[in-house]
């Protein structure tokens, strides 16, 4: 939660340097943001044949948040900042639910570790604007390929190459 004031005066002048107009901004700003997230993940590794493994994983994440930002101007009757500026104010609620699953193959020896596979992620975004009671839903599907190679040349040196998609 935060609160503050914006006080600004802008003077506009004519070409002969005389004052043409003055704009005054006198506002109080209030902001309140809250976020709750829970998540879980499970990973399973299965040996296939000598030196080969398959690795699967699944994760779920849910984020629920609210964001309230209000701008107020001064009331000319009582000099209190109690008149909401609708164009500069909002109150939003979000619910973001994401699922991610992946599979990869891994080949392992004393000198080399090779892994390749990928993940798929599906996300539902639900946004509720409490000021104008509008709802917006969005859905995303993302794919994340990955490959990595780690080659151990000696006990003190190795070569690693890795490529993975991410957002």
Residues in the chain: 167
Placement of tokens 């990973």 in the chain = 43
Judge if pTM exceeds 0.75. no
Say how far apart CA 140 and CA 50 lie, in whole Å: 38
State residue 2's pLDDT score.
87
State residue 57's pLDDT score.
96
C-alpha to C-alpha distances, 38 to 59, 65, 71, 96, 98, nearest whole angstrom:
11, 12, 32, 11, 11
143: exposed, middle or buried (Cβ count in 10 Å: 0-12, 13-18, 19+):
exposed
15 touches 53 (CB < 8 A): no
* Phi, psi dihedrals of residue 89, rounded to the nearest 5°: -125, 150
State residue 167's pLDDT score.
66
Say how far apart CA 1 and CA 134 lie, in whole Å: 24
Consecutive 10-residue runs of the chain (167 residues): their mean pLDDT? 89 92 90 95 95 96 94 88 87 96 95 94 95 92 94 86 83
Number of Cβ atoms within 10 Å of the Cβ of 133? 7
Say how far apart CA 84 and CA 8 lie, in whole Å: 18
């Amino acid at each position: 939660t935060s609160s503050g004031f914006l006080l600004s005066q802008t003077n506009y002048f004519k070409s002969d340097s005389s004052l043409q107009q003055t704009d005054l901004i006198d506002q109080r700003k209030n902001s309140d943001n809250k976020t709750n997230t829970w998540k879980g993940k499970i990973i399973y590794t299965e040996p296939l044949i000598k030196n080969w493994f398959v690795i699967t994983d699944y994760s779920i994440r849910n984020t629920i948040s609210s964001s309230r930002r209000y701008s107020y101007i001064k009331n000319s009757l009582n000099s209190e900042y109690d008149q909401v500026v609708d164009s500069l104010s909002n109150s939003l609620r979000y619910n973001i639910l994401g699922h991610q699953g992946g599979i990869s193959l891994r080949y392992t020896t004393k000198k080399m570790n090779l892994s390749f596979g990928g993940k798929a992620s599906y996300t539902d975004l639900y946004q509720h604007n409490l000021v104008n009671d509008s709802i917006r839903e969005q859905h995303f599907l993302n794919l994340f390929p990955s490959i990595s190679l780690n080659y151990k040349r000696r006990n003190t040196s190795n070569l690693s190459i890795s490529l993975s998609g991410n957002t």
